[in-house]
């Protein structure tokens, strides 16, 4: 659990904060958050592809005044970052999601609360009085279940509590093959529970998705699905049914998280999504998919400005934020860095992550000769040639 940081060592990068978090968290908790699926190639690729992109700095430009702010859904962000949904944050700090939410509100950033949070959505909303925030709104993430009516209650609770957007995760019809979780299952400690669900009393049992993950045969997997009941993730989402059903269910904006192709981006616009999140689930679902940053340009071109394109995956530096914006993102989500900050020093640790990234981003803009978000374009980047010397313009 979180401890006070040593005064003699103040981390100045997100990587340094992660290293501290790694020493504070139990190994199975750190592995749960840090690892990806199968051989973790998608996880590594998310990071690697950022490094292939190089910034083409322009000079002799008056950069005394840098404006890092942006606007999404009519709300002003001091810089183009928001908090991605991350489950069970009390594993990182005793107050978990409350500390994260307070940090987001303090910095005028949006937070997406995971439906699998260890604090109820009502308690998070109350802690920050989210219906009265001057800055960006809070959003609520959801996995639709096999019985949509089971999810409907949660949707209504979120809307009543003041969340303004529903972030529907669409890349998880089943859990990816997370080998570390199969070998060392993560069970919430005594006294900790998922805050948004009615959990039966008695010994804690793995949820249906975790049981399904451990199936050794197709027959065993099919039997688990039959016996799982209404709470297992739905594997039958469709464009024709799901979005119209959600439109009838809620007045919240609908954001689809997990879009990785331009074909699906076009369908999201066609069927009325309010925004999409370009995401491969932090490399935790299908391994050997592209990095999110390398599919972003084609997706942004397909959307053509009709709805916001939100991005996540592998962001660890302010320059990563710059690169994502240059390739078409309107807003960038950070997930694991928030958890490392939370583990490091609760709200103050999350704020440290925000401050580091904001300062790095502003410095990157200054040194690149860019004065505002709208000036960050593909022309700001080149890509390192895979075989040979030099870079190629995008």
Task: Determine if residue 89 is labeled as part of a ligand binding site.
Answer: no
Shortest CA distance to 357 belongs to which of 46, 40, 16? Answer: 16
Confirm or deny that 85 is annotated as ligand binding: yes
Is 169 annotated to bind a ligand? Reply is yes
32 is in an annotated binding site: yes
Q: Is 330 annotated as a binding residue?
A: no
CB 34 within 8 A of CB 336: yes
- Whether 281 sits among the annotated catalytic residues: the reply is yes
Residues 6+ apart with CB under 8 A from 204: 187, 188
Phi, psi of 232 (to 5 degrees): -70, 150
According to the annotation, is 336 in a ligand binding site? yes
- Residue 131 tokens read as 């219906």
Does 317 appear as a known binding residue?
no
86 annotated to bind ligand: yes
Answer yes or no: are the C-beta atoms of 345 and 330 closer than 8 Å: no
d(CA 254, CA 256): 7
Q: How far apart are CA 107 and CA 186, in angstroms?
A: 32
315 is in an annotated binding site: yes
d(CA 31, CA 349): 20
160 is in an annotated binding site: no
Do the annotations mark residue 335 as ligand-binding?
Answer: yes
- Annotated ligand binding at 359? The verdict is no
Q: Per the residue annotation, which of 93, 107, 233, 281 is the catalytic one?
A: 281
Phi and psi at 307, nearest 5°, equal -140, 160
Asked if residue 313 belongs to a known ligand binding site, the reply is yes
284 appears as a binding residue in the annotation: yes
Annotated binding site: 32, 85-87, 114, 141, 143, 169, 178, 257, 279, 281, 284, 312-316, 335-336
Annotated binding site for glyoxylate: 32, 143, 178, 281, 284
Annotated binding site for FMN: 85-87, 114, 141, 169, 257, 279, 312-316, 335-336
Catalytic residue annotation: 281
């Amino acid at each position: 659990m979180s401890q006070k940081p040593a005064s003699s060592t103040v981390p100045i990068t997100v990587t340094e904060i992660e290293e501290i978090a790694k020493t504070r968290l139990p190994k199975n908790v750190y592995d749960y958050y840090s690892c990806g699926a199968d051989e973790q190639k998608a996880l590594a690729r998310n990071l690697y592809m950022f490094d292939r992109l190089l910034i083409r700095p322009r000079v002799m430009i008056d950069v005394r005044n840098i404006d890092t702010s942006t606007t999404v859904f009519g709300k002003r962000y001091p810089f183009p970052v928001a908090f991605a949904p991350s489950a069970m944050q009390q594993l990182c700090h005793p107050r978990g999601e409350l500390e994260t939410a307070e940090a987001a509100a303090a910095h005028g950033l949006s937070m997406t609360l995971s439906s699998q949070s260890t604090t109820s959505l009502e308690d998070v909303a109350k802690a920050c009085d989210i219906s009265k925030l001057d800055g960006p709104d809070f959003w609520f993430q959801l996995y639709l279940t096999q019985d949509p009516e089971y999810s409907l209650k949660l949707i209504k609770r979120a809307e009543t509590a003041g969340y303004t957007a529903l972030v529907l995760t669409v890349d998880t019809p089943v859990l990816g093959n997370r080998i570390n979780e199969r070998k060392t299952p993560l069970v919430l400690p005594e006294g900790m529970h998922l805050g948004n669900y009615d959990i039966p009393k008695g010994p804690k049992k793995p949820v249906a998705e975790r049981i399904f993950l451990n199936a050794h045969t197709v027959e065993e997997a099919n039997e688990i699905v039959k016996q799982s009941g209404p709470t297992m993730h739905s594997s039958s989402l469709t464009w024709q049914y799901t979005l119209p059903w959600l439109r009838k269910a809620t007045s919240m904006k609908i954001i689809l998280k997990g879009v990785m192709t331009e074909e699906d981006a076009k369908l999201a616009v066609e069927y009325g999504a309010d925004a999409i999140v370009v995401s491969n689930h932090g490399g935790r679902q299908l391994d050997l998919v592209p990095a999110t940053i390398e599919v972003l340009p084609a997706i942004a071109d397909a959307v053509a400005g009709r709805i916001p394109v939100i991005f996540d995956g592998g962001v660890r530096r302010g320059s990563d934020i710059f690169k994502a914006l240059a390739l078409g993102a309107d807003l960038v989500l950070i997930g694991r860095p928030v958890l490392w900050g939370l583990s490091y020093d609760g709200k103050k640790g999350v704020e440290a992550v925000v401050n580091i990234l904001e300062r790095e981003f502003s410095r990157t803009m200054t040194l690149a000769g860019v004065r505002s978000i709208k000036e960050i374009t593909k022309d700001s980047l080149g890509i390192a040639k895979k075989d040979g010397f030099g870079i190629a313009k995008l």
